[in-house]
DNA sequence: ACCTGAACACCGTTCAAGT
DNA sequence: ACCTGAACACCGTTCAAGT
C-alpha cells in the first residue's frame, strides 16, 4: 500500500505537469488542478477525490480551501470567465463588440468540455463574472438600452443564452449528435404524423455538419435583435 | 434486516401513493416513480437506487427496462413534455400561440424541481418531444419562416432558451437567489470598478421580487422578435 | 492552522445465480 | 425472460486524531 503511494509521489516530482513539485495546498492550485482534470477528462473525470489525488493528498484536505463541490464549481467558472476577451474601442461599434464578447464567452466555456453544463448549473459572483457583466452593461448602454430594468433583463438573457449554447454543445460532445437520434425517430414515425418535421429532414442532415462558428454567432445576433426590438417597444 | 424489509413491504400496500400494490415492474412505472421522487425531493432525491427502493426491488432490476440513468432522464423529460398544452386555432394568431406554447413548455419543466436542469442536459427524441417540435415548426411556418435552415435554427434556439430559463430558475430554487450574492459582491467592490453595475444596484433589488411570469413571457417574446428579425434579414 | 486516515452514507453498473 | 443479492469501483462530506 505505502509502496504504491511512494511511487506516485516520486513520479510526481518528475513529471506531473509543470506545477511546482509541492507548493502546499492552495485555493488557486485546487482550482487549477480541477480545471486540468475537466479539460482532460470532462465532467465525469472530475471529482474532489481526483483533484485531491492529483495533489497527492486526501479529499478531506481540500475542505480547508473550498467549502464544498459547488463552491469549487463556481470558482472554476469564474476562472474560465477570466479568459474572456473584452474588446476595447478599436473593436468596432457597440454591437460588433457585444457580439464578439458573447462569442468569446461561449468559446471560453466550450474550450473545456463540461464547462457549458457547469455554467448553466452554477452561479458565480466572482470578480471575473462581475467584470464581464460590467462590460455588457456598458455596451448595452452605448446601444441605447437605458432603463435599468431592460438592461438587467438583457444581460441576464444574453448570458443565459450563451451559456445554454455551450451546455447544448457539451451534451452533443458526450452523447454524439442527437439530431441523429431525432432523424431515426422521424423515420420510424408515420410521415403524416409530423409533416413539418418530415419536410425538415434533409435540412436536418445538412445542419449536422455545418453547426459551427456561424451558428453560434447567428444565434447570438438573433438574440441581440430581440433585445433591441424589446427596447424600442418599451 | 429482513424484518425491516418486511415492514416496508407491508406499509407499502397500505399507503404508498396510489400505485397498484405490485403491478410488476414496467418502464412506465419506473418513469412514474422517478418523476414522483423528483417532484418531492428534487434532483438530489432522485437515484436509480431510490427508484428501485420505492418499487420494493433492487437497483439491478431496473436495467431490464432502462439502459442506464441517462435513458431514464430522457424518458422523464419526454413524459414531462407530454403535458405541454399545444394551442389549437382558437388560441389567437401564430405569435400568441407560439408564445403560449413556449410558456407552457417552460412551466412543465418548472413544475418539477430539477426538470429544468435535466432538460438542458438531456436530449429526448421521444414522441412528445417530436409532437412539440412539430407544433413549433407549424407555427413558425404560419409566421412566415419558410426556409428549412431558418426553421431549424429558430426551433433549436427557442427550445434551448426556454429550457435554459427553467434551468436557471431551478438553480435559484436550490441555492437561493444568486442576485443576493451578486449584490453583496458589488457592495464589497470599489464603486469605480464596476460603475454600470453599481448604477443597476437598486433595480437589481426590485428585480429579485418581481421575476415572475412576466419575466418569462418577456424573455421569450424577445427571442421571437429576434427570430423574426433574422428571418426578414435573410 | 493545517493536514490526514478512516468512516459514513451514499452512488451507477455488472454479474453470477436463481426462478 | 425476469428478478435478485452481492460485489465493484466509485462518490461528497465529516470527524477525531495528529502535527
pLDDT at B46: 97
Summarize chain B as % helix, strand, coil (round to 5): 75, 0, 25
Secondary structure letter of residue B124 according to DSSP: -
CA distance to partner chain A, nearest, from residue B4 (Å): 34
Residue A9 in grid coordinates? 509521489
**B228: exposed, middle or buried (Cβ count in 10 Å: 0-12, 13-18, 19+):** buried
Half-sphere exposure of residue A232: CA atoms within 13 angstroms, side-chain side: 9
- Residue A211's pLDDT band, with cuts at 50, 70 and 90, is low
Contact across the interface for B160 and A164, Cβ inside 8 Å: yes
Please name the residue that has the C-alpha cell 435535466: B118
**Would the Cβ of B44 be found within 7 angstroms of any atom in strand C?**
no
Summarize chain A as % helix, strand, coil (round to 5): 75, 0, 25
Contact across the interface for A149 and B203, Cβ inside 8 Å: yes
pLDDT at A223: 92
Whether the per-residue pLDDT at B55 is higher than 80: the answer is yes
Secondary structure letter of residue B59 according to DSSP: G
pLDDT at A208: 64
pLDDT digits (tens, 9 = 90+) for A22-46: 557 899 999 999 999 999 999 999 9
Smallest CA–C1' separation from B61, nucleotide: D3
Tally Cβ neighbours within 10 Å of residue B232. Answer: 9
Higher pLDDT, A178 or B7: A178
Contacts of A224 in chain B (CB under 8 A): 226
Q: In chain A, pLDDT over 90 holds for what percent of residues?
A: 65
CB proximity list for B190: less than 8 A, separation 6 or greater = none
B177 and A CB contact within 8 Å: no
Contact across the interface for A229 and B230, Cβ inside 8 Å: no
- Residue B220's pLDDT band, with cuts at 50, 70 and 90, is very high
Mean pLDDT of B121-144: 95
pLDDT at B173: 85
- Residue A210's pLDDT band, with cuts at 50, 70 and 90, is low
Mean pLDDT of B85-101: 94
**Would the Cβ of A60 be found within 7 angstroms of any atom in strand C?**
yes
Burial annotation B182-209 (CB, 10 A radius, 16+ → b, else e):
bbebbeebeeeebebbbebeeebeebee
Higher pLDDT, A234 or B85: B85
Amino acid at each position: 500500500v505505502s509502496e504504491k503511494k511512494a511511487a506516485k509521489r516520486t513520479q510526481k516530482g518528475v513529471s506531473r505537469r509543470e506545477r511546482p513539485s509541492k507548493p502546499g495546498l492552495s485555493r488557486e492550485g485546487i482550482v487549477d488542478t480541477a480545471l486540468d482534470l475537466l479539460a482532460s477528462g470532462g465532467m465525469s473525470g472530475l471529482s474532489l477525490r481526483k483533484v485531491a489525488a492529483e495533489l497527492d493528498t486526501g479529499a478531506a484536505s481540500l475542505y480547508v480551501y473550498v467549502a464544498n463541490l459547488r463552491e469549487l464549481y463556481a470558482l472554476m467558472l469564474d476562472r474560465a470567465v477570466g479568459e474572456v476577451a473584452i474588446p476595447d474601442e478599436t473593436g468596432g461599434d457597440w454591437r460588433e463588440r457585444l457580439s464578439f464578447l458573447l462569442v468569446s464567452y461561449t468559446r471560453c466555456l466550450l474550450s473545456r468540455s463540461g464547462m457549458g453544463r457547469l455554467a448553466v448549473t452554477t452561479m458565480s459572483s466572482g470578480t471575473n463574472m462581475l467584470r464581464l457583466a460590467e462590460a455588457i452593461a456598458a455596451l448595452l448602454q452605448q446601444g441605447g438600452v437605458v432603463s435599468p430594468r431592460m438592461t438587467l433583463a438583457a444581460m441576464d438573457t444574453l448570458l443565459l443564452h450563451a451559456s445554454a449554447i455551450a451546455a447544448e454543445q457539451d451534451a452533443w460532445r458526450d452523447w454524439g449528435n442527437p439530431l441523429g437520434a431525432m432523424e431515426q425517430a422521424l423515420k420510424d414515425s408515420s410521415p403524416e404524423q409530423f409533416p413539418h418535421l418530415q419536410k425538415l429532414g434533409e435540412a436536418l442532415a445538412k445542419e449536422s455538419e455545418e453547426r459551427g462558428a456561424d451558428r453560434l454567432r447567428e444565434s447570438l445576433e438573433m438574440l441581440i435583435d430581440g433585445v433591441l426590438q424589446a427596447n424600442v417597444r418599451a
